[in-house]
Homo-oligomer: A and B are copies of this chain.
Amino acid sequence: MDNIALVGMASIVISGLTIAIGSIGPALGEGRALSQALSALAQQPDEANTITRVLFVGMALVESTAIYCFVITLILIFANPFWTYVVEQASTNGG
């Protein structure tokens, strides 16, 4: 039954760390972009439309790297092929 504990622990540990580490970069990057956008708005209020449009499209692109991490995290928790295999094996072995 060791395999179940080992694979389960690895899945838990990594699912948490993936989203935790993976949220640092996007959060800092988006914060920087947002901060500059506000400075640009104060400088050129007439271009508010262009600036906010570019800002949100760009932030979506940055957010995408956080989404990759979130997807992998969810796969590791709810659709983990390694866990599935190990559980099946355990049940067929009377585990």
Binding site for B on A (CB under 8 A): 1-48, 50-52, 54-59, 61-66, 68-70, 72-73, 75-78, 80-83, 85-87, 89, 93, 95
- Could you list some 29 contacts between A and B, CB below 8 A? A1-B89, A5-B86, A7-B8, A7-B12, A9-B82, A10-B12, A11-B12, A12-B82, A16-B18, A17-B18, A17-B20, A17-B21, A19-B22, A20-B22, A22-B24, A23-B65, A25-B26, A26-B65, A28-B28, A29-B30, A30-B31, A35-B35, A35-B36, A38-B54, A54-B55, A56-B61, A66-B68, A75-B77, A93-B95
With A23-B26, A31-B33, A32-B35 in contact, do A78 and B76 touch (Cβ < 8 Å)?
Answer: no
- Bound form: Cα–Cα A18–B15 in Å: 9
**CB < 8 Å: which of B6, B17, B58 contacts A37?**
B58
A45 contacts B34, CB within 8 Å? no
Which residue of the partner chain B has the closest CB to A6?
A: B5
